[in-house]
Amino acid sequence: MENKWLRDTIRDFEPYKVPEIQEHTIINANESPYNILDFPSVKQDFYAGLEKLPSYRYPDPFAEDLRRALSEYAGCRPEEILATNGGDEIINLILNTFINLGDQVLTHSPTFDVYGIDAAVLGGRMLYCPDEDGFVRNASAFKQMIVENQPKVTIICNPNNPTGHIWPTSVIEEFVRAAHNIVVVDEAYLEFANQESVIPLIEKYENLIVIRTLSKAFGLAGFRLGYGVARADMIDALSLTKLSYNLNSVTQLMGIVAMRHRDEVLGHNVPPTIENREYLEENLNALPGVTAYPSASNFILVRVPDGPALIQALKQADICVRFYGAPSLKNCIRISVTTRDVADRLLTVFRALMKGE
C-alpha cells in the first residue's frame, strides 16, 4: 500500500477487501447455522439483562462476572482467564506481549492466517513446519523445530484450521515440555472434537496458553467473545497491553447468559454438526477423484481434480465456500458443516461435477 508514513513492517500489506458474496448459502467462515437467540431460555435471560443495563457506564474492564462463568465451563479458576474481543484479540495480545523485532514464531502449515499477519506487524519471523501428505502434521519434525530454534512463541491450532487435523493431548504435552518459551494451543473448534481440552495442563506448565472462542460452537461470532486460559501470572502479563475496555457490556452479558445455558446450547448445536460432518465425509470420499480429509472440526477440507470448476458449480448452486491461493492447498476448498439440507445440496453439486469429468 502507498502511504509514506507506514511503519516498515506493514509496507507490503494490502488493504483488506471485503469479498462480495452474491450467494445465499454462505459456508465459507465456519459459522454456526444456529442463532443463540432462538433458544427461548437464552432470549429471555438476555433481554431481561439488557433492560437493566446502564448504557452510560463503562463495562467492567476485567469482566469479573463473565470470567467466573467462563471458568466453570473451562474447568479452571477465574483468575486463569482473560476474556477478549473474540479469539482474534487474545492471539494479538499474546504476540504483542512477547514478540520483539526479529523474534521467531513457530507454527505448522497450512494454518490460520492471523498468526502470521499479527507476527508480521511486530516484525517477528515466522517458521512453518509443513504438513505431510494428506495434511497430517508431522509431530517429530515439529518437536525438532521447537528444540532447535526455541522460538519465542510456538502456536498450535488444534484442531487445525483449515485441515481439521487434531493432535492428541499427549503430543501437545511433549511440545510444551520441549519448549523453553511460550506455547499457544488454539482450541477454537475443540467442542466439535472427540477429545478433551488441554486446559488442565496449565497447572503443570507455566509456558502454556490456551485459546477458546464462543464464535463457533456457541454460534456467537457476531458478538465477539473469546478467551485465553493460562496461569494467573501469565494472564496478568497478557493484560499489560489490553485496551482498558476491550469487551463491551452487551457482549459480557451475552457471555454470562450463554454460559448459564451452555448445556442446552451445545447439546443442540454440536451433535447434528458432527453427524453431518460424518455424513459429508463418507459421501464425498465415495466419489472418485474427491478427497475429504478427516476433520475433528465443524468444517471439511476437500480436494478435487479441478478446484475452479467446483467453485463455479457451487456458485451456480448459490453456495459460497472458502478457497485458497497457497500452492499446498491447490484444488482444495473448505466447507463449513451446517445442516443436512445444505449437505445434500453440496453432494448434488459434487456428484454432477464428478460425472461430467
User: Which residues contact ligand PLP (rule: CB under 6 A)?
Assistant: 86-88, 112, 157, 161, 186, 188, 213, 215, 221, 226
Largest Cα separation within the chain, whole Å, is 62
Specify whether the CB–CB gap between 273 and 27 falls below 8 A. no
Q: Decide whether 131 or 186 has the Cβ nearer to ligand PLP.
A: 186
Q: Which residues fall within 8 angstroms of residue 236, CB to CB, at 6 or more apart?
A: none
Q: Decide whether 188 or 284 has the Cβ nearer to ligand PLP.
A: 188
Q: Decide whether 163 or 207 has the Cβ nearer to ligand PLP.
A: 163
CB of 111 to ligand PLP, least distance (A): 7
CB of 205 to ligand PLP, least distance (A): 21
CB of 351 to ligand PLP, least distance (A): 29
Q: Decide whether 214 or 313 has the Cβ nearer to ligand PLP.
A: 214
* Angstrom distance (rounded) from CA 122 to CA 110: 21
CB of 87 to ligand PLP, least distance (A): 3
CB of 93 to ligand PLP, least distance (A): 12
Sign of CA dihedral 319, 322, 323, 325: positive
Q: Decide whether 154 or 213 has the Cβ nearer to ligand PLP.
A: 213
Specify whether the CB–CB gap between 255 and 219 falls below 8 A. no
CB of 116 to ligand PLP, least distance (A): 12
Q: Decide whether 150 or 294 has the Cβ nearer to ligand PLP.
A: 294
Chain centre to alpha carbon of residue 33? 16
* Angstrom distance (rounded) from CA 74 to CA 42: 20
CB of 64 to ligand PLP, least distance (A): 21
Return the C-alpha torsion angle 310, 311, 312, 315, nearest 10.
Answer: 120
DSSP state of 136: B
Q: Decide whether 71 or 161 has the Cβ nearer to ligand PLP.
A: 161
Which is it for strands 25-26 and 319-320: parallel, antiparallel or unpaired? Answer: parallel
Q: Decide whether 332 or 353 has the Cβ nearer to ligand PLP.
A: 332
Q: Decide whether 184 or 257 has the Cβ nearer to ligand PLP.
A: 184
CB of 227 to ligand PLP, least distance (A): 9
CB of 226 to ligand PLP, least distance (A): 4
Q: Kindly report the backbone phi and psi dihedral angles of residue 180, in degrees, each rounded to the nearest multiple of 5, phi listed first.
A: -90, -15
The beta strands (E) that lie in the chain are given as 25-26, 81-84, 104-109, 125-130, 153-157, 182-186, 208-213, 226-229, 291-292, 299-303, 319-320, 322-323, 332-336
Counted residue by residue, the chain has a size of 357
* Angstrom distance (rounded) from CA 23 to CA 7: 37
Sign of CA dihedral 159, 231, 229, 197: positive
